[in-house]
A and B are shown apart, each in its own frame.
Chain A
Amino acid sequence: MKKLFNLALGIVTSIGGFVEVGSISTAVQAGAEFGFSLLWAIAGASLFLAALAEMAGRVAAVTKRSMAAAVRERFGFHFQVIPLGAEVIIDTLLLTAELGGAAIAVKMLTGIGFQWWVLPLGLVAWLVLWFGSFTIIEDGVGLLGMVTLSFVVAAWRLHPDVGPVARGFVPSIPQHDVTRYAFLAVSIVGATVSPYLLNFYASGAIEEKWTQQDLWINRLTAWCGMGFGSAVAMGCLVTAAIVLGPQHVKVDTYEQAAQMFVPVYGQWAVVVFALSLGVGCFGAAVELALNAGYVLGQAFGWTWGIDKKRCDVSRFAAAFSGVLVLGVAIATIGFDPLRVTLISAALTVVIMPLVVLPFVVLMNEEEYAGKHTSGPLGNGLLATLTVLGALMAIVVIPLEIFGG
């Protein structure tokens, strides 16, 4: 029964995937510009992420190895250096963006410029990591994350028509701005399925000491957790489609995005939006910094773990602190969080085959998955989707950036 609390791991991971600065902004833009017609991208990203997280959790439960460790041992450092380098870069960029997103949320609540909030928020994130345990982080972010259900409530209260919403789950070619549509689809997937989530989830499973007996918990956690995030992201898209769609505006600030809550939450619209954005971004920032410690520790074989005394895991502690300092530094210099997220999302989709394909190979080897290897259908589907996604990203991203 106690194990059911482990569902929090799924919720926390999905907040990093679906309810953070990148996913919220892409979902809002998609809804405002293309109505319900990009719901399929969120649904697809959810299935993809849940399947991958389940696999990562399975390897962790069976062999006590996270992705970074398994890939290093199976494929060697020469292969790993590229996905590892990309993950650390994306991790830092996203951390910067999430701190920025959380700072924007605080600015919406206080009216004081967002650049003033980056440093204090970074410090709070570090205090949480330094003094917190895995349970505190997991349950804290998971519980606070419930505020993001405000997106689902908003969509529900706006009574969307079932027909058009259902049609959004089938990919279609829009009558206008085909490149923009494809770019948003790629961005939704890229902002959702970050490689760091898989490593974070697997590391969480190891921190929670899952064993082979917990494989059902793993399956439940992966699918329910991603289901939660997916529902929130879809609620966000649907709300934006109904409220902002008819206004024909291109949403490029969060203040604009918050307006979509006005018909439902009235004068509390900005507060509810800012709280949801703030909690999601801050949770993701904590997760990202922690994951930087995990991934480096595991790739280089250091002792790691947030539940160990910091002085016994000084390399790990230095790694998450260092990445946090770097993220705060970049964020303080000044940048546009939205731009940074879109760059990281694009980079994520391009690098995805290097993350997913070795993983599919591992999942078929007894040394890494025990008796619980994946079936050929799942493997084939994952591999095909990954490669297709990357090819699409390579075509679409330059078109959007340089104008097509």
Chain B
Amino acid sequence: MDVVRDVLDKNVIDRNGREMGRVDGILIEQQPNQPVRLTAVLIGPAALGDRLHPALGRVVRRIEKRFGVDGDRPARVAFSDIDEIETKVRLRLAIGETAVAAVEQRLRSWVVRLPGSR
């Protein structure tokens, strides 16, 4: 499998078909004397920032933090949690079980206060 072509930038959907984001980055690991292993996909603007320039990634993380989104950014989804990779990347998890939902939930907490949002 060519991870860059087949995985990177693809749409990620959760178990219920909900669009979560895109594969913004890929985490690989290499132990001595072992082949390279894919460990996780990264989802979130911080990963995109890192891809363009590490400094940009740091700026994005700072903005996210100020915005009230704590924890490890970008969100990581273990490769073992991926169900299948077709035109979209489908996970075995629901969006709520991942860290991806943090921004969405933060915004949602504001949006639901407005009339007509539900």
Binding site for B on A (CB under 8 A): 63, 69, 72-73, 76-78, 81, 130-131, 300-304, 309-311, 314-315, 317-318, 367
Q: Given A130-B114, A309-B117, A310-B117, is A73 in contact with B9 using a C-beta cutoff of 8 Å?
A: yes
Partner of A310, one of B18, B19, B114: B114
Partner of B51, one of A69, A78, A303, A367: A78
Considering the complex, which residues of chain B in the window 82-118 have a beta carbon less than 8 Å from any beta carbon of chain A? 87, 103-104, 107-108, 110-112, 114, 116-118
Sample of 29 A–B contacts (CB below 8 Å): A69-B11, A72-B9, A72-B22, A73-B9, A73-B10, A77-B9, A77-B52, A78-B51, A78-B52, A130-B114, A130-B117, A301-B12, A301-B19, A302-B21, A303-B19, A309-B118, A310-B111, A310-B114, A310-B116, A310-B117, A311-B111, A311-B112, A314-B104, A314-B108, A314-B111, A315-B104, A317-B111, A317-B117, A367-B87
Q: Given A77-B48, A310-B116, A310-B117, is A318 in contact with B107 using a C-beta cutoff of 8 Å?
A: yes
Partner of B21, one of A81, A301, A314, A367: A301
A303 to B88, CA, bound (A): 13
Q: Which residues of B contact A76 (CB under 8 A)?
A: 4, 8-9
New contact pairs (20) apart from A77-B48, A300-B45, CB-CB < 8 Å: A76-B8, A77-B24, A81-B52, A130-B117, A131-B116, A301-B20, A301-B22, A302-B104, A310-B114, A310-B117, A311-B111, A311-B117, A311-B118, A314-B107, A314-B108, A314-B110, A314-B111, A317-B111, A318-B107, A367-B87
What's the least CB distance linking A48 to chain B, in Å? 29
A310 to B103, CA, bound (A): 15
Q: Which residues of A contact B11 (CB under 8 A)?
A: 69, 73, 301
**Interface SS of chain B: helix, strand, loop or mixed?**
mixed
What's the least CB distance linking B91 to chain A, in Å? 13
Considering the complex, which residues of chain B in the window 26-49 have a beta carbon less than 8 Å from any beta carbon of chain A? 45, 48
Contact A130 B116 (CB under 8 A): yes
A102 to B21, CA, bound (A): 35
Q: Which residues of B contact A302 (CB under 8 A)?
A: 19, 21, 104
Q: Which residues of A contact B116 (CB under 8 A)?
A: 130-131, 310
B: interface residue count bin: 20 to 34
Q: Which residues of A contact B48 (CB under 8 A)?
A: 77
A77 to B9, CA, bound (A): 7
Q: Given A77-B48, A77-B51, A81-B52, is A315 in contact with B22 using a C-beta cutoff of 8 Å?
A: no
Nearest-neighbor residue (CB-CB) of A72 within chain B: B9
What are the 7 tightest A-B residue pairs by CB atom distance, in nearest-first order? A301-B22, A314-B107, A310-B117, A314-B108, A303-B19, A301-B21, A314-B111
Q: Which residues of B contact A317 (CB under 8 A)?
A: 107, 111, 117
A314 to B19, CA, bound (A): 12
A302 to B45, CA, bound (A): 12
Q: Which residues of B contact A301 (CB under 8 A)?
A: 11-12, 19-22
A81 to B21, CA, bound (A): 16
Considering the complex, which residues of chain B in the window 49-79 have a beta carbon less than 8 Å from any beta carbon of chain A? 51-52
Contact A300 B22 (CB under 8 A): yes
Which of B10, B22, B118 gathers the greatest number of chain A CB atoms within 10 Å?
Answer: B22
A315 to B111, CA, bound (A): 9
A63 to B87, CA, bound (A): 10
Which of B12, B20, B108 gathers the greatest number of chain A CB atoms within 10 Å?
Answer: B108
Q: Given A77-B9, A78-B51, is A303 in contact with B111 using a C-beta cutoff of 8 Å?
A: no
